[in-house]
Structure 1
């Protein structure tokens, strides 16, 4: 029987790193699925937290467990385990998720966001290590796996170069939803200082406010008006209100921001749209520097003359030109006009660069 060819040290290290990266991707995907499940079951989880938080102030956890065992409601049966030492319960929302009853729904979701950031940082370390060891064998791509749809993908979105999720409203309704449902105390509220702009929420702490400001400026009325720069400001969530004072009027999708703001002046308007193939295939968009660094093929847009739908079609053609026929065949469900159009700013655009 022929023995298996022995791997060189470089090949063994590369294989180990590939396995580690795959595990990190799996852990990131699982944590993202839990976050999605938490928000999809928001009312139920909020009720569990409210009820058990109140109950724990007057009953022991043993009494709470006894009460739950003798309750036959569907909601009670979804509480599958108690963790008194952590003031937490395990609930069944299609997957078993531990919920801490003295924390809000957003704080519970935040625990999983922290995990996602941790695993992404570890993955970055593994990818960096791979660059120092290059195996002699050429790795041939056999398949392309589409990126799984996450809960925030229906908003405008991108991930900063230091791994923080940034969300923006596509319309007045989404602006309202982002502030009322998804903005928490640890977030940051961003808005271009022009009429008609996406509400932008930074879901965590980032050192790359230049990227966030450019995202907010580009998805604003400044682009539609043909401007090439705009001022942007940030504020804390507790400064943002929907309650008008006497003589004020607040339209749908708009908010009153009280107190001091941090300004970012003359932010250049530009958006990048590109195709990423690994670990999952998807069209992504956002600040050009971020998107260029993460994609195989890329197009940069600035305010210009062509309508959004025409621009989407042009970008799609450019992206398709840069991939081989086998890749194009595998990407039919990923690379299309709708996917590209989701990242084209409102108003006229010109394509100013590709790579």
Structure 2
């Protein structure tokens, strides 16, 4: 069998290629419109409560509260871009935090890690992240090797990881978290301004954006999401790549679990049961298509902040929680509808 190498079309052959105006590119970008929505929300709430909402303290608290979710959403962006889904990240976060906390207890005198130093904390970090990566590897193996639909796989591991976390400590939270961890990563700042937990989230997001948008790994992720069979025929190791995508998501869930442990100084089992849905919502709001092949890390960052700003703004204004849920649901449905319209318009050309 002989293969021929196709020459990509040039601008001379197709005059329309590469000549779109900046305005046309912006108007056709999901990220641009989502950013306008976020900007509008910030302006509205700032006008409604000018003495409370647009303050440094409120902005800092908003950044801290979204840091853990942002790390989860970075991994979810890769998964959804491949046309997959991961419902287990919230439970994996809980399990990873529980493993880290339990490890630090085991290494501390009398099982109390409150006064533990950085040696014990480092071991807790490694075990927690490895625990998250292990669940990601299980998800990837079942999806990529066993060919089980990701919705079913991660629905199953969601319950399994949560059950395993409860088994580790009899269904109770662990509250003996090292003070040093809480004071340094949970509430510590760099340069006296930037919270360390936010700095960690920013670094992970920048690395994720670089990986998705500038590397071969990112191009393969887009290709698999666009057309898995075509990607396979073009020589991409689809099975291996999907395995690493779910592994990466579990790894980041492990980091998020340790960040949560540092901030709350507790495993907070009940506080993360909906984190999987929040991460998926943020990624979809940011313009990543549930059908795969389209994803933006910048959009994910914006998508994380839209529900956070809505919730914070509604709380400050005094809107009931019920209306918050309705508004968030409406925004999510609108984002999916917009994605479908763009997809239909693109396919009809």
Q: Same fold (TM over 0.5)?
A: no
Give the TM-score band, short-chain normalised. Answer: under 0.3
Greater C-alpha radius of gyration: 1
Counting strand residues as a fraction of each chain, which structure ranks higher? Answer: 1
Larger RCO (CA within 8 A; separation ≥ 6): 2
Compute the TM-score of the two structures, normalised by the length of structure 2.
0.25
